[in-house]
């Protein structure tokens, strides 16, 4: 609740104004009910009917209806303005925060989680901000005003109006017992069903190749069956209670109780027939308001959970920015006694020292989990070191302004992300002001120009619509993007990992152009792609165990030599 209150604070004034207007609207909505009773009193009074009084009452009723409609409409308009302002404010805050978090946060965080907070959760706040307060105010003020009116007439009429309410409250309280725990169990069940679906969809090729379709279907059936059993086990006992609550607040039952009680009260001489009529009219509005209250409470629970997720996203620690940034002098990259561990894990890198000079290509190799990808990602500050320093141009990267660092350091990753937009827009991500000639030149150097010309609209083709690329083609687009950005330092995370042999040859040609004159750090999985680099650094368990040229490492007959023998033996089989 505190997170929700904090998020709504900027529009609290507008919300309060909407609540006041809603309260006025609810009270004026009560006037027609009172007016009908007063009309009955005038019309049923002995003697001639006072036309003037009748018209006066009718006029008051009409005026109250107009004021009520205007107040309710005004209240909703004000809260919708508050909702629009809050959504725009939250989206700006989220975009601002996402632009400041470390790049490694995106690797560690599900894109679905970000999307849910930035889109779905903000949408979940819409009903609460734009409707909830206005509707809840009306649902509270209208029956309370009616009961106050009945108390003014006769306290027994007020009790009669809420005679069926205790049955509803007891049954509803019983239904809501353990609601939070049950909802958590159901959410976990939905998550398991979703996981089974995702696993099946992503693994459909492997599943069909190995004839395991029935097994995959079984996993889904088991997850759905477990969810269905839990849901039925929770809902089935509540059905009788739900029927009881619905019956207690149904219009026929409320009307029957009110009429029976009213007749009794009139017979006893406690109230007049007109006062009994007023009680029936007021009693009939209580069930509808309770329904609004029930829906409002459910919406509030949902909004509280959404607000907690949004607040957690907004509380994500940003990348520390130096107050007095330094300008790097040169384009060399140096690791000085670097140690690093991911949060909650053992040390990934320990005491790594390495100096990469401008105009050279340094390859990082090692087994899975050796720390090569982590080491390379420390240069563009995907993460910050736990101890030691990573220096660019002689300056600790933590002392360089992020916008300066990213003008110095570019990277081409295995998993290429192309945005929904034209090919030219994707290429210009690193340099929006690049001319058409420069874009074509970069694509030509990356060996992707001819493929782009073959698209229906060439460079103006839209990715995902009339431009669909293979893994190797996407890699070459990423290389063209890096060429256009023209950063003097480049991190390559096995750019040929998913390419076929023909694409790999084209990518290697593009990389040779890209690496020319730059400080290049390559994360290598295929040893054949780095045989001619200036230096090979072998990592094992987060420690540098060997470094040198290909010939030097093979002559040393150490870790790299064994890796090379295993690689060449495997590739010739």
Q: How far is CA 527 from CA 355, 359, 374, 507, in A?
A: 21, 21, 19, 15
User: What is the C-alpha to C-alpha distance for residues 75 and 19, in angstroms, rounded to an integer?
Assistant: 7
- Residue range(s) occupied by CATH 3.40.50.300 in the chain: 333-572
Cβ contacts of 136 within 8 Å, gap of 6 or more: 292, 293, 296
Look at residue 237 in the predicted model and tell me its pLDDT: 58
Nearest to 532 by CA among 415, 389, 360, 391: 360
Residues of the chain with CATH 1.20.1560.10: 2-154+303-314
| Nearest in space to 137 (alpha carbons), one of 32, 17, 309, 57 | 17
Asked if 332 contacts 501 with a C-beta cutoff of 8 angstroms, the reply is: no
Phi and psi at 333, nearest 5°, equal -120, 130
pLDDT attached to residue 122: 78
Q: What is the pLDDT along the chain (573 residues), one digit of tens a residue?
A: 577 778 878 888 888 898 888 888 888 877 887 777 777 776 666 767 677 777 887 888 888 888 888 888 888 888 889 888 888 888 888 888 877 777 777 766 655 566 666 667 777 777 778 877 888 888 788 888 888 888 888 888 888 888 877 777 776 666 666 555 666 666 666 666 666 666 666 555 545 545 555 555 666 667 677 767 666 666 665 666 666 666 666 777 777 888 888 888 888 888 878 778 778 878 877 777 777 777 777 777 777 777 887 888 888 888 888 888 899 988 899 999 999 998 777 788 999 999 999 888 898 998 888 888 889 889 988 889 999 999 999 999 999 998 888 888 888 877 777 888 899 998 998 788 889 998 998 888 888 888 999 999 999 999 888 888 887 788 888 888 888 888 899 888 765 555 555 555 666 666 666 677 789 888 877 787 777 788 999 999 889 999 998 889 999 988 989 888 887 875 544
CATH homologous superfamily, domain 333-572: P-loop containing nucleotide triphosphate hydrolases (3.40.50.300)
CA distance 350 to 371: 10
Distance from C-alpha of 542 to C-alpha of 371, rounded to nearest angstrom: 5
Q: What is the pLDDT of residues 466-520, one digit of tens each?
A: 888 887 788 888 888 888 888 899 888 765 555 555 555 666 666 666 677 789 8
Burial class (CB in 10 A: 0-12, 13-18, 19+), 506: buried
Reported as a single tens digit per residue, the pLDDT across 116-160 is: 666 677 777 777 788 778 888 887 888 888 888 888 888 888 888
420 contacts: CB under 8 Å, gap ≥ 6: 462, 463, 464
Strand, helix or coil for residue 392: strand
**Fold that domain 2-154+303-314 belongs to in CATH:** ABC transporter transmembrane region fold (1.20.1560)
CB 507 within 8 A of CB 478: no
| pLDDT the model gives residue 96 | 82
Residue 444 pLDDT: 86
pLDDT at 209: 47
Closest CA to 388 of 440, 442, 334, 432: 334
Quote the Cα angle for 100-102-108, to 5°.
Answer: 130
* Helix, strand, coil percent content, the chain, rounded in steps of 5: 65, 10, 25
DSSP reduced 3-state for 363? strand
Cβ atoms of 154 and 271 within 8 Å: the answer is yes
Res 503: pLDDT: 56
DSSP 1: -
Write the CB contacts of 181 (distance below 8 Å, at least 6 apart in sequence). none
* Exposure string for 306-335, b = 16+ CB within 10 A, e = fewer: bbbbbbebbeeeebeeeeebeebeebbbbb
Q: Cα–Cα distance between 297 and 268 in angstroms, integer? A: 41
User: Position of tokens 């978090």?
Assistant: 101
Q: What is the pLDDT of residue 537?
A: 92
Q: What is the pLDDT of residue 452?
A: 92
């Amino acid at each position: 609740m505190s997170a929700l209150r904090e998020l709504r604070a900027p529009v609290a004034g507008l919300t309060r104004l909407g609540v006041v207007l809603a309260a006025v609207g609810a009270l004026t909505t009560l006037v027609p009910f009172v007016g009908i009773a007063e009309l009955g009193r005038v019309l049923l009074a002995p003697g001639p009917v006072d036309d003037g009084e009748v018209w006066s009452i009718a006029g008051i009723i009409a005026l109250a209806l107009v004021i009520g409609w205007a107040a309710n409409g005004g209240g909703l308009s004000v809260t919708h303005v508050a909702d629009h302002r809050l959504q725009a404010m939250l989206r700006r805050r989220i975009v601002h925060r996402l632009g400041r978090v470390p790049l490694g946060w995106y690797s560690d965080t599900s894109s679905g989680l970000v999307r849910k907070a930035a889109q779905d959760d903000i949408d979940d706040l819409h009903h609460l901000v734009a409707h909830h307060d206005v509707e809840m105010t009306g649902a509270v003020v209208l029956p309370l005003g009616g009961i106050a009116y009945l108390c003014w007439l006769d306290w027994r009429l007020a009790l009669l109006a809420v005679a069926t309410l205790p049955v509803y409250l007891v049954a509803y309280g019983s239904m809501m017992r353990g609601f939070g725990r049950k909802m958590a169990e159901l959410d976990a069940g939905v998550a398991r069903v979703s996981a089974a679906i995702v696993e099946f969809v992503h693994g459909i090729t492997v599943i069909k190749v190995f004839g395991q379709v029935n097994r995959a279907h079984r996993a889904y059936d088991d997850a759905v069956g477990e969810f269905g059993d839990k849901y039925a086990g929770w809902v089935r006992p509540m059905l009788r209670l739900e029927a009881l609550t619905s019956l207690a607040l149904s219009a026929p039952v409320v009307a029957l109780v009110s009429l029976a009680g009213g007749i009794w009260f009139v017979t006893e001489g406690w109230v007049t027939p007109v006062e009994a009529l007023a009680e029936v009219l007021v009693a009939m509005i209580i069930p509808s308001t309770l329904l609004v209250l029930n829906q409002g409470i459910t919406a509030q629970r949902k909004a509280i959970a959404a607000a907690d997720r949004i607040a957690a996203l907004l509380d994500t620690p940003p990348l520390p920015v130096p107050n007095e940034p330094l300008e790097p002098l040169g384009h060399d990259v140096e690791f000085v006694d670097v140690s690093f561990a991911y949060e909650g894990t053992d040390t990934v890198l320990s005491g790594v020292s390495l100096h990469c000079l401008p105009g050279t290509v340094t390859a990082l190799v090692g087994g899975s989990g050796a720390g090569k990808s982590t080491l390379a990602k420390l240069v563009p500050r995907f993460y910050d070191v736990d101890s030691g320093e990573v220096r660019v141009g002689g300056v600790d990267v933590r002392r360089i302004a992020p916008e300066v660092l990213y003008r110095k350091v570019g990277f081409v990753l295995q998993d290429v992300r192309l945005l929904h937009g034209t090919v030219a827009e994707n290429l210009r991500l690193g340099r929006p002001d690049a001319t058409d000639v420069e874009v074509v030149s970069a694509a030509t150097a990356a060996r992707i120009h001819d493929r782009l010309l073959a698209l229906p609209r060439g460079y103006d083709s839209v990715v995902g619509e009339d431009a669909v690329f293979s893994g190797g083609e996407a890699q070459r687009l990423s290389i063209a993007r890096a060429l256009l950005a023209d950063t003097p330092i480049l991190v390559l995370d096995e750019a040929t990992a998913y390419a076929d042999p023909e694409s790999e040859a084209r990518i290697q040609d593009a990389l040779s152009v890209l690496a020319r004159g730059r400080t290049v750090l390559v994360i290598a999985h295929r040893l054949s792609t780095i045989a001619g680099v200036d230096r090979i650094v072998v990592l094992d368990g987060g420690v540098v165990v060997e470094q040198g040229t290909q010939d030097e490492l093979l002559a040393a007959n150490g870790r790299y030599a064994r890796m090379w023998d295993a690689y060449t033996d495997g590739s010739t089989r």
